[in-house]
Amino acid sequence: MGILDSKVPKGPLAEKWTNHKNHIELVNPSNKRNIDIIVVGTGLAGGSAAASLAELGYNVKTFCYQDSPRRAHSIAAQGGVNAAKNYQGDGDSVYRLFYDTVKGGDYRSRESNVYRLAQVSTNIIDQCVAQGVPFAREYGGLLDNRSFGGVLVSRTFYAKGQTGQQLLLGAYAAMNRQIQRGKIKSHTRHEMLDMVLVDGKARGIIARDLVTGEIERHAAHAVVLATGGYGNLFFLSTYCMGANVMAAWRAHRRGAFMANPCFTQIHPTCIPVSGDHQSKLTLMSESLRNDGRIWVPKRLEDAQAIREGKLKPTQLKEEDRDYYLERRYPAFGNLVPRDVASRAAKERCDAGFGVNKTGEAVYLDFDAAIMRYGKEKALTSGMKDADDTKVRELGEQVVEAKYGNLFDMYQKIVDQNPYKTPMMIYPAVHYTMGGLWVDYNLQTTIPGCYAAGEANFSDHGANRLGASALMQGLADGYFVLPYTIGDYLSNDIRTGKIPTDSPEFDAAEADTRARLEKLMSGKGTHSVDYYHKRLGKIMWNKCGMSRNAKELQEAIDEIAELRADFWENVRVPGSADTKNQELEKAGRVADFLELGELFAKDALTRNESCGGHFREEYQTPEGEALRDDENFKFVSAWEYKGEPKDAILHKEDLVYENIELKTRSYK
């Protein structure tokens, strides 16, 4: 353990995956019946993996902290899923999707994994259509596509603004079929608290029943972690409230390397913060940037008047508006990648042009799209002399058909009608490109422990393109892991059942109980949320959209101090042997307090700007990210050594044989 071997197959890029599948070891159907696999997390990555592995014949046990796999945070993905089908005939291809993904990640991802992702993307759509996912269709019946940030083609398949939910229902239905067959045993309202290693291999987990408080032992021949990202480290984020890093961090403490933890995505189109009372933020889909134009007032006095309520945005003339993305990035306009759009919004607001009461919001305006669609609808309906009122009515109907549920959600939260007045948006934490380091087979540095979807680091580099999260999760679960896990399990066909009464399980359960007792023993007056909010403020202020060496070092020191205070003074009411949601939160925040320090340490050691990692000391004269390919063209993989400050850095050098590294430009 400790040596990074990516296990990337040799040969031409386009042939690596096919050749690899042809030469890895397999497990025959009669032997699969004797092999157990644990899948932790039942969102898109975990649900698709569990269904596929059970379909192959393995015995699968699934675990999720929700009361149903249908409540996984995957349902929150609104805009779509990418695939290189080229239905539009606009020049798309597997290579173009591969290139866009690597470029979008600012050349900090592994070529072989990304190309494989692009290859299997086309299979994802066929799989989901067969499951009955109701993708949007064009007039002629073909599946429709729309554009997303960072690309010049339309390759995003969508189901209105509910794509994640519809895809999850497909995976959930596939899981239910296997549950009914007895091939999946589902454990809902269970949380993984530790990983058990036997002879250095992942052989099971310690879990807590969140209803009864009972500590349970579960054994398997391999463990798959598909538990999503760690964005709730920032407290305020677009993640669901329960999203956490516990399973991944427990694996990290047992020997799985944590890769690129500082690579976190800030999404540009979120509903702005309204006050200290909030516990989460709400995302408005990036698909809205297809038709919405982003702007702020050109004059400071107009911005000030809008903030004070003396001027409405609809009263500002076209020539008095600054469509700053269209001005700065004419080739891509409002469809620049998320990191570029987010930093541009922050720059305008920092300069005093913000439009809400806090000064931290810009406009996303649909007026031009409504009128454009309305004119087209009027003409196709035979109304050649329709007036503006009728055109607007028709245009609103078209926009409602495409984005209606998103507009309804915005109106309920903000109490403003986005058909009549521009939406207000501001960047927020949304996705983590970092995660557990995995090789080409999606195996971590612990043999037998695999990571899928957002829980691993593998495909997105320093910034994820929109609509690629669903693509990666489904690719890992449906089309990668079912092949690659057999290569490892082929050595377990004579192993037999893994017992849970071994010294290793005894030790892991004892560690878990001791940790719970320590969490319950704090006698201070501060709640768990008190510490989580304080951590979130440190992370956002000093490790957020931009970072610098001075503040990163301050963050490291402050988080270490906060962590020490947490263990001394946190107060967790109730008891550990029953339902206790404060105890659940306490365990998760305890891990965030360790991860936060490693996050800042990782950002401090990467002396460059790339993608979502923006170091203020390293930028172009125009304020764009300035990479250092000579010194930092590698994956940072951190080995646990007790305290985050003692973590050891390992480097996986990234080799680009098929793409020329260029300064990333969207102009």
Q: Which helix (H) or strand (E) holds 28?
A: none
Tokens matching residue 408: 């309804």
Handedness of CA 529, 534, 539, 544 (dihedral sign): positive
Buried/exposed 315-333: b ≥16 CB within 10 Å, e otherwise: ebeeeebbbbbeebbeebb
Composition of the chain by helix, strand, coil, percent to 5: 45, 15, 40
DSSP string, 633-659: -EEEEEEP-SSGGGPEEEEEE---SSS
The answer to whether 266 and 544 have CB atoms below 8 angstroms apart is: yes
Tokens of 21: 């599948």
Helices 528-543 and 549-569, packing angle to 10 deg: 170
Contact 163, 81 (CB under 8 A): yes
The region, left, alpha or beta by phi > 0 then psi within -120 to 50, assigned to residue 267 is: beta
447 is written with which tokens? 């043999």
| Distant-in-sequence, close-in-space partners of 251: CB < 8 Å, separation ≥ 6 | 195, 202, 225, 436, 444, 446, 449, 451
- Which candidate, 123, 230, 304, places its Cα nearest to that of 455? 230
Reported residue count of the chain is 667
- Residue with the two structure tokens 């507009």: 407
* Alpha-carbon distances of 590 from 453, 532, 565, 578, rounded to whole Å: 23, 9, 11, 20
Q: Which residues touch 394 (CB under 8 Å, ≥6 apart)?
A: 373, 374, 377, 378, 381, 383, 386
Residue recorded with tokens 């020049």: 91
Q: How far apart are CA 495 and CA 506, in angstroms?
A: 20
Neighbours of 120 (CB within 10 A): 20
CB atoms within 10 A of CB 583: 22
Q: Determine whether 338 is an active site residue.
A: yes
Which listed residue (289, 338, 464, 664) is catalytic? 338
What's the Rg (C-alpha) of the chain? Answer: 25
Q: In what order do the strands lie in the sheet with 59-63?
A: 184-187, 59-63, 36-40, 222-225, 449-451
Gap between the Cα atoms of 476 and 226, Å rounded: 10
Query: So which residues are the catalytic ones?
Result: 338
